[in-house]
């Protein structure tokens, strides 16, 4: 068997590992095994690549490769190990961005190394696609990271003539692409690279923090496509298949996520959603309306003598690291014979399934986690809806106010419960930047403060009730 055939076979094994990784994610039971299969595939592929003459042929280059891998591992492993579970979305963004950057660099380096002017057009096209998409993914992920990490404002950034400017940059890139294809000029390629980075930044600026996870999913898909383009450039089945798997699955996931928010993808990308604080109901806003605020003791009694309590967690619960106290409260109530369940919105937290991860971390049993579609029929017979650090996902404006930016988004029907309790730090609107009329509902009681402190106070209050 020739070395080339052996290489193809080994890479095929790696590809099967990747497919198993994605398949394993179909159930919590096999997900971890699947991920290990993917990691094994990666290890086999990378390990075998070291045995190829083009990699070990030049000792100096081999040393550089090993040093680079060691540096990357030394930075990546501690970063990934130490990140808080709440900061996972921005971590995924950063690891996605570097992948896009690597793909763009591969394309640039290949372009430089191509001999003379006799390059086939399709070769240049593949390279340009890799540079463009990889650079957009790299720069876009960087801005997405900054938004989620709150290094910059999470609100959409808009300026006069934004759309024409963005379109202008897009057209300029298009023109440059054609020019580069015709001339195969390296200087032009560098301009394409710089403009693509700029496009990545200005593309992400007008996207609000609440929509950034959808964007990360889209950029994840882009990186996959950039990797596939590198695969075409390097004549590598491995890169084409792995990149395309990610590109296709990322597209599907992006669609599922925008569907969960009740919006279309173009609306998410181009509408600068959440840039203004919009008034909700027809009465023009919250002015003059009163909010009822209660003590932990009052609410503790309310919970202790309820028959059915729905806990509706949101990102506020996550940032306060309150998932463990929330479970303590649920357990305390359950000991008193109260029926408790968690109503989970599909986009609770920062990404679909993010809240499930956080609650699983706090050892909340699976059967208490109820998805939105199953939870909503239960809400009418629920005595207390306890909303912990959530806001937009229970905002009735999504059902009742056609003019509202979140109109049409599926919500958890907290408004149907007999009593509603909000644990919030302040009256500030949620991530989408719109007011919530449910806060002013006569059925609603507010308990202001950090979610973790409030929940601890409630546990004590329920115990003494």
Partner 1 sequence: MEIVAGPGLMGFITIFVLAAFVGYEVVSKVPSILHTPLMSGSNAIHGIILVGTMLVLGDAHGAAQLTLGFLAVVLATLNVVGGFVVTDRMLHMFKPRSETKPEKPATADGDDGSPS
Q: Mark the segment that binds partner 1 (CB under 8 A) among 164-172, 297-305, 330-338, 420-428.
A: 420-428
CB of 182 to partner 1, least distance (A): 8
Q: Counting beta carbons within 10 angstroms of the beta carbon of residue 460, is it exposed (0 to 12), middle (13 to 18) or buried (19 or more)?
A: middle
C-beta closer to partner 1: residue 283 or 371: 371
Phi, psi dihedral angles at 405 (to 5 degrees): -60, -25
Stretch touching partner 1 by CB under 8 A, among 118-126, 263-271, 291-299, 301-309: 118-126
Smallest gap from residue 167 Cβ to partner 1 (A): 28
Q: Residue from 1, 4, 120, 282 that binds partner 1 (CB under 8 A)? A: 120
* Residue count, binding to partner 1 (CB under 8 A): 156
Q: How many CB atoms lie within 10 A of CB 66?
A: 11
Which of positions 319-358 make contact with partner 1 (CB under 8 A)? 319-322, 324, 345-357
- Identified catalytic residue from 211, 392, 415, 435: 392
Return the residue of 286, 314, 396, 410 that touches partner 1, per CB under 8 A. Answer: 314
CB 231 within 8 A of CB 133: no
C-beta of 13: minimal distance to partner 1 in Å?
A: 13
- Alpha-carbon span 135 to 196, nearest angstrom: 6
| Full DSSP string of 195-244 | HHHHHHHHHHTTS-GGGHHHHHHHHHHHHHHHHHHHHHHTT-HHHHHHHH
Asked if 451 is part of the footprint of partner 1 (rule: CB under 8 A), the reply reads yes
Site string for partner 1, 264-293 (x = CB under 8 A): ------------------------------
> Residue 64 or 179: which CB sits closer to partner 1?
64
Active site residue 415: no
Does residue 312 contact residue 412 with C-beta atoms inside 8 Å?
A: yes
Of residues 68-97, those binding partner 1 (CB under 8 A):
68-69, 71-73, 75-77, 79-81, 83-86, 88-89, 91-92, 94-96
**Which positions from 239 through 268 interact with partner 1, judged by CB under 8 A?**
239-253, 256-257, 260-261
Which parts of 9-68 interact with partner 1 (CB under 8 A)?
14, 18-19, 21-23, 25-28, 31-32, 34-36, 38-39, 42, 45-46, 49-50, 52, 54-58, 61-62, 64-65, 67-68
For the sheet with 384-388, list strands across it. 369-371, 339-344, 308-313, 384-388, 419-424, 444-448
By CB under 8 A, what part of segment 200-239 binds partner 1?
210, 216-217, 220, 223-224, 227-228, 230-232, 234-239
The nearer residue to partner 1, 51 or 464, going by C-beta atoms, is: 51
Q: How far apart are CA 446 and CA 440, in angstroms?
A: 9
Nearer to partner 1, 127 or 176 (CB): 127
Tell me how far CA of residue 153 lies from CA of 74, 148, 258, 275, in angstroms.
31, 9, 22, 11
Query: C-alpha angle 275/95/206, rounded to 5°?
Result: 15
Rounded to whole angstroms, the Cα distance separating 211 from 204 reads 10
Residue 433 CB, shortest distance to partner 1, in Å, is 8
Of all helices (H) and strands (E), which one includes residue 329?
helix 323-335
| Burial class of 259 by CB neighbour count within 10 A (0 to 12, 13 to 18, 19+) | middle
Tokens read off for 46: 């990378």
How far, in Å, CA of 41 to CA of 451, rounded? 42
Looking at beta carbons only, is 77 or 167 nearer to partner 1? 77
Q: Say which residues have a Cβ less than 8 Å from residue 226's Cβ, sequence separation at least 6.
A: 100, 103, 104, 107, 129, 130, 133, 134, 137, 243
Which CB, 46 or 171, lies closer to partner 1? 46
Q: In the complex with partner 1, which residue's Cβ is closer, 95 or 270? A: 95
DSSP percent split of the chain into helix, strand, coil, nearest 5: 65, 5, 30
Question: Minimum distance between the CB of residue 465 and partner 1, rounded to whole angstroms?
Answer: 25
Site for partner 1 in 368-407 (CB under 8 A): 369, 371, 389-393
- Min. distance of Cβ 397 from partner 1 in angstroms? 14
What minimum distance in Å lies between the beta carbon of 171 and partner 1?
24
Binding residues for partner 1 restricted to 166-195, rule: CB under 8 A: 182
Contact in structure between 206 and 144 (CB atoms under 8 Å): no
Catalytic residue set:
392
């Amino acid at each position: 068997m020739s070395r080339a055939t052996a290489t193809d076979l080994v890479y095929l094994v790696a590809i099967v590992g990747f497919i198993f990784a994605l398949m394993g994610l179909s159930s919590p039971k096999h997900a971890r095994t699947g991920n290990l299969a993917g990691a094994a595939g990666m290890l086999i592929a990378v390990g075998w690549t070291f045995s190829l003459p083009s990699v070990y042929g030049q000792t100096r280059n081999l040393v550089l490769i090993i040093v680079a891998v060691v540096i990357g591992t030394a930075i990546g492993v501690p970063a990934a190990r130490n990140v808080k579970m709440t900061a996972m979305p921005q971590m995924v963004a950063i690891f996605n961005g570097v992948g896009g950057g690597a793909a763009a660099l591969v394309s640039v380096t290949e372009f430089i190394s191509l001999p003379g002017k006799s390059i086939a057009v399709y070769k240049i096209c593949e390279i340009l696609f890799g540079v463009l998409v990889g650079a957009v993914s790299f720069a876009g992920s960087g801005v997405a990271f900054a938004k989620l990490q709150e290094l910059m404002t999470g609100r959409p950034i808009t300026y006069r003539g934004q759309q024409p400017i963005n379109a202008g940059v897009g057209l300029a890139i298009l023109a440059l692409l054609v020019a580069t294809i015709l001339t195969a000029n390296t200087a032009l390629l560098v301009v394409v690279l710089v403009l693509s980075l700029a496009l990545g930044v200005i593309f992400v600026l007008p996207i609000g923090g609440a929509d950034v996870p959808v964007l990360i999913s889209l950029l994840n898909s882009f990186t996959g496509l950039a990797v596939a383009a590198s695969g075409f450039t390097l004549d590598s089945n491995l890169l084409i298949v792995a990149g395309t798997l990610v590109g296709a699955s990322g597209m599907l996931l992006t669609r599922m996520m925008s569907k969960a928010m009740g919006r279309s993808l173009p609306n998410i990308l181009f509408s600068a959603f959440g840039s203004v604080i919009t008034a909700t109901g027809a009465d023009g806003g919250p002015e003059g309306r009163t909010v009822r605020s209660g003590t932990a003791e009052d609410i503790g009694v309310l919970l202790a003598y309820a028959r059915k309590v729905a806990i509706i967690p949101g990102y506020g619960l996550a940032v306060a690291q309150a998932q463990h106290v929330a479970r303590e409260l649920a357990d305390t109530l359950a000991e008193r014979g109260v029926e408790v369940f968690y109503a989970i919105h599909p986009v609770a937290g920062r990404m679909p399934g993010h809240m499930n991860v956080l609650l699983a971390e706090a050892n909340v049993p699976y059967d208490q986690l109820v998805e939105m579609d199953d939870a909503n029929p239960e809400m009418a017979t629920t005595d207390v809806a306890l909303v912990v650090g959530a806001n937009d996902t229970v905002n009735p404006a999504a059902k009742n106010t056609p003019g509202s930016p979140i109109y049409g988004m599926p919500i958890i029907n907290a408004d149907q419960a007999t009593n509603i309790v909000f644990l919030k730090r302040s009256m500030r609107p949620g991530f989408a930047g719109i007011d919530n009329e449910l806060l002013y509902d006569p059925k609603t009681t507010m308990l202001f403060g950090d979610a973790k402190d409030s929940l601890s106070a409630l546990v004590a209050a329920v115990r003494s009730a």
